[in-house]
Structure 1
């Protein structure tokens, strides 16, 4: 502030001195170029203040020195400002980098927690019923129910170990004990679409999936169950549509041929509300007595191809996205059907085409196939 005031004072004095000197120089009656000019000693301002007249050359020198001083100070200020600005920007970038590293560490930690939680949820789904399989209580779930009813009032659904009669093998099955009287051995379940049913003959023969969730028990195991002496089994198909409508189809007799005959299907009388899709509407659609087919074992009766709906089909399994079923040119039922990966024009989901609403087949989101002993007339 004092520098600015000094500059203004010097400028004022300069103009005052220069004005007086000019007036004296131009209006003097004895003007002489060679005569020295004597500066006046003092003047009185209009307000009565005493001021000193400073020669112009001294004033210019003072102004020049002051200008150089101001420029130097300004340059130093600019340099200091530039250094502080660069330091500030560097500090901000370093702070952002530290914040980014902290955020990355938090994201990595969160991902680890999500993976851990996902594993725990999956394990929880696996253990949602019986955490540890019970020891074998019978030949099948119906036999387990009959044996346990004498000692416990309510038998829980869950995973049990069975040992079918006249076999040396024991294996785990899921028993439904709270559905229509219980005693049901689940041979197939579809609920969430997480299990891939695009499988080869070996998988359909041995079984796959999670017994507490989606699974296919396996044709060998089902054959051992239904082939026990002095037994007869019924098949029950429970369906749930995408609109949560329920329906069922039941057969009072269910049998399978052995593996050398490709586990051919044999069904008894139908009852239910979903229609008899296994037999269809005419003999060409009848899947009863059909052998099982898969993507690598073709028993579907299309030799060399089948024609329906203005289409030519060489493999029913290929038509149904490489899934396995009791196909017969190709039929109206495939509870193992899988959504197509690319070709939306092909059949796309679980099929039971006799279950209709207003003449249109319902979209099925869940299905369970289960078998249970029924009394024999011996």
Structure 2
């Protein structure tokens, strides 16, 4: 199925429903509203699978210090490091009840995740972030930092105060330290220098 798009396949959950034994990988889907066919990376193993991945970063090979236009359209390679594109992320989330799942790993090999229900984005150009409820998982959003402070913020990138300061694009609140698209730090370092 990794080649062409099937009728009625609008995200990775649809892929999983039609083909329950599908492996992780790149699949073609047709977005429900715009009918745009795009390639997406599907995580079919984490937490029962069916996750449409919109950001993947693990070695610093892709530049994430880009402007809002790049973040809107998407960049990178879905088989490597990439950002899917805010316009596609919004349409994927708009089709129904969506959950945002973040997975992170540390230089020592430890891994953690957090999930937030009722994930959606506002209209362009700001793509205001909305998550409902509190995060649950192993990453420990104990202070509710993401759900409290990022919730309701616009996405900004290179060319904005926080985008320039944090060298990336994100739903920044006062240039927060939650910055999964910021300057890539080499494992085991604090600065990435």
Could you say whether these structures have the same fold, taking a TM-score greater than 0.5 normalized by the shorter chain as the test? Answer: yes
Aligned match of 2:64: 197
Q: CA deviation at 1:282?
A: 11
Seen in structure 2, the aligned counterparts of structure 1 residues 282 and 143 have a Cα distance that, compared at 3 Å, is closer
Q: Which runs of 5+ in 1 are unaligned?
A: 1-129, 299-314, 350-378
Q: Which runs of 5+ in 2 are unaligned?
A: none
Of 130, 141, 153, which aligns to 1:266? 130
**1:160 touches 1:172 (CA, 8 Å); kept in 2?**
yes
Q: 2:162 aligns with which of 302, 316, 331?
A: 316
Aligned counterpart in structure 2 of residue 245 of structure 1, from 110, 116, 119: 110
Moved beyond 6 Å, runs of 4+: none
- Once the two structures are superposed, the pairs formed by residues 148-163 of structure 1 within 5 Å of their partners are 148-149=19-20, 154-163=21-30
* 1:133 match: 3
User: Which structure features the higher share of helix residues?
Assistant: 1
- Report the CA distance shift for 1:167/1:281 in structure 2 as closer, same or farther (over 3 A): closer
Question: Which protein is bigger by CA-based radius of gyration?
Answer: 1
Moved more, 241-250 or 174-183: 174-183
Q: Give the superposed CA RMSD.
A: 2.4
TM-score, normalised via structure 2 length: 0.87
Q: How does 1:176-325 map to 2 (within 5 A)?
A: 176-228=43-95, 231-260=96-125, 262-269=126-133, 270-276=135-141, 279-280=144-145, 286-296=149-159, 298=160, 315-321=161-167, 323-325=168-170
Shift of 1:135: 2.3
Greater relative contact order (Cα < 8 A, sep 6+): 2
Contact 1:203 1:218 (C-alpha < 8 Å) held by counterparts: yes
Q: How many residues align?
A: 187
The answer (yes or no) to whether the contact 2:155–2:171 under 8 Å persists in 1 is yes
